Structure 1
Amino acid sequence: MKITILVDNYATQLSSLSKRLLSEWGFAAYVHDYRILYDTGLTGTALLNNMRALGIDLNEPEYLVISHRHIDHTGGVRAFLNARSRPIKMIAHTNLFTKAYATSEGGKLEDISVDFTREYLESRGVELILIKEPYRIANDVIVSGEIPRKWGPSHTGAVTDEVPDDMALYIKHPNGLIALTGCGHSGVENIVEYGFQVTGLNKLYAVIGGLHFMGLSEDRIRQVTNYLANKSPSIVIGTHCTGILGIAALYNAMPRASRLGGVGSVIEL
Structure 2
Amino acid sequence: MPVKGNITVTVIVDNNALPGFAAEHGFSLWIETSGMRMLFDLGLGPAFRPNVLQLGIDLRTMDALVLSHGHYDHTGSVREALEAAPHARVCLHRGAFTDRWSIRGGTAKPTSMPESSRNAIKALREGQVCYALGPTELAPGVWVTGPVPRLREFEDPGGPFFLDTEGKIPDPIEDDMSLWIETPEGLVVMAGCCHSGIINTLEFITRTTGEHRIAAVMGGLHLSSASQERILRTAGELKRLGVRRVVTSHCTGEAATEQFRELLACPVEGSLAGMRLTLP
TM-score, shorter chain, exceeding 0.5: yes
Query: Are 2:262 and 1:260 equivalent residues in the alignment?
Result: no
Whole-angstrom distance in 1 between the partners of 2:129 and 2:216: 28
Q: Point out where structure 1 has 5 or more consecutive residues left out of the alignment.
A: none
Letter matched to residue 87 of structure 1: H
Larger CA deviation: 118-127 vs 227-236: 118-127
The partner residue of 2:258 within 245, 248, 253 is 248
Query: Are 2:97 and 1:97 equivalent residues in the alignment?
Result: yes
Whole-angstrom distance in 1 between the partners of 2:161 and 2:122: 29
| Conservation of the 8 A alpha-carbon contact between 1:151 and 1:193 | no
Structure 1 stretches of 4+ with a deviation exceeding 3 A read 117-120, 122-126
Offset at 1:93?
Answer: 0.2
- 2:109 match: 110
The partner residue of 1:6 within 12, 19, 43 is 12
- 2:32 match: 32
Offset at 1:81?
Answer: 2.6
Q: Point out where structure 2 has 5 or more consecutive residues left out of the alignment.
A: 1-6, 163-170
Whole-angstrom distance in 1 between the partners of 2:89 and 2:156: 29
Offset at 1:51?
Answer: 1.5
Letter matched to residue 11 of structure 2: I
Query: Are 2:168 and 1:193 equivalent residues in the alignment?
Result: no
TM-score (norm. length: structure 2): 0.87
After TM superposition, the structure 1 = structure 2 runs for residues 216-255 of structure 1, keeping only pairs within 5 Å, are: 216-254=226-264
- 2:174 match: 164
Cα distance change of structure 1 residues 90 and 181 upon mapping to structure 2, 3 Å threshold: same
The one-character-per-residue Cα deviations of 1:128-149 (angstroms, maximum 9, x if unpaired) are 2212111101221111000001
Offset at 1:119?
Answer: 4.3
The one-character-per-residue Cα deviations of 1:90-142 (angstroms, maximum 9, x if unpaired) are 100021211121113x3211111111365433546692221211110122111
Identical counterparts, % of pairs = 32
| Conservation of the 8 A alpha-carbon contact between 1:63 and 1:88 | yes
SS in 2 for 1:252: helix
The one-character-per-residue Cα deviations of 1:169-191 (angstroms, maximum 9, x if unpaired) are 01111111111000010011111
Query: Are 2:223 and 1:213 equivalent residues in the alignment?
Result: yes
- 1:181 match: 191
SS in 1 for 2:96: coil
Question: RMSD across aligned C-alpha pairs, in angstroms?
Answer: 1.8
- 2:77 match: 76
TM-score (norm. length: structure 1): 0.91
